[in-house]
Each structure stands twice: as C-alpha cells, then as structure tokens.
Amino acid sequence: MTHSKLTIASITALMISMPAGAQTSDDFQKLFTLNGPIQAMGVERVYDDFTLSPGQLAECLKDAKQLNIDAAKIDDTYEKLQAERDNIGALGEEIDTSTAYLEAHPTQEVNDEAAQQKRAELVERHNQLTDEYNRWITQYQQDQVAYADMADQFDIDQEKFADKCSQKQYYAEDLKAIQMKN
C-alpha cells in the first residue's frame, strides 16, 4: 500500500484531540489523544465498556504517545524516500546523457589510441553509473516495502487506538492521578 503525505494528513485529521485542560504533556497534545467526554469529578466512579479504568486510561495515553512517535517515523521515512527518488532521477539523467554521448561518438579509428582510451574511460564511468543506479533502485524498492509495512501497521494501530480509547469516557481524577505519576 502506498501512502502519501495526503494520506498522513488525512489520518492526522481523523486523530483525536484531548480536551483543553486535560493534557498530560506536549507529546500527548500532538496527534493521538483522548476525545471521549470527561466524567464529572467527585461522582461515584463506575467503569464499564464506555468508561476507561485508570489502567486502561494509562495504556491509552501510552499508546497515544507511541502513535505520535510512529507518525513522525512515517513522515521521516517518506522524506527519505523522496530524497532517494530524487537521487535516482538525477543519476538516471546522468546515465541518459552518458548513453547519448557514447552512442553519438563511437570510436571508429582503429589506430587512434587516445580516442580508444578516452572511450574506454567513458564506458567504464557509464558502467559504474549504471551499477550505482541499480543499487539505488534495489535499495529504494526495499525502502518502499518497509515504508508500506510501517504505514500498514500504523493504520492497524490507529484503528485499534480508535476502538479502544478515542471515544471512551474517563474520569478527570484518574487522568490527574496518571499525570501526577508521570
């Protein structure tokens, strides 16, 4: 699966934002935070399928932090892929130029050692460029697969977070207690 900045932006737009005053740290303010309603303070606490227990809340905050880290890694990897692609393009242009020159200037003089030596050097350089290009292509393909795997896992983790955490209620006292520990 190929992901672009637009996909990451779409994912970011679907992210959940923590209510004002309920932020645990700068890390939790970024992309993945809790969006469910905060239960009133001082009421009897009842934990059910719709309300996070303190342990679940702590786990959700931990997951949110990890998702933020993973999102940053995906962005960094995307930028790396773009740089690799640009390098491959530049190298491909250099190979095209070399190929065009070699095809346009064959050595026809049998006894012209200087021309034959120059052509041999150009052919050697052309072959080096081609080998380098092939190495870049192989690395780029491996990096694309790794990026796709990372993005797929990110999508899975984001869905799990949304199901497990994002729309659940929690008690302000529980969040405050977790914040005090951290």
Per-residue confidence of the chain (182 residues) as pLDDT tens digits? 333 332 332 233 223 222 323 333 344 344 456 666 666 666 788 899 999 999 999 999 999 999 999 999 999 999 999 999 999 999 999 999 999 999 988 876 667 788 888 889 999 999 999 999 999 999 999 999 999 999 999 999 999 999 999 889 998 889 999 999 87
Q: From 179, 169, 172, 176, select the one nearest 43 (Cα to Cα).
A: 172
Contacts 24+ apart (CB under 8 A), 102-109: 102/126
Alpha carbon distance 133, 17 (integer Å): 44
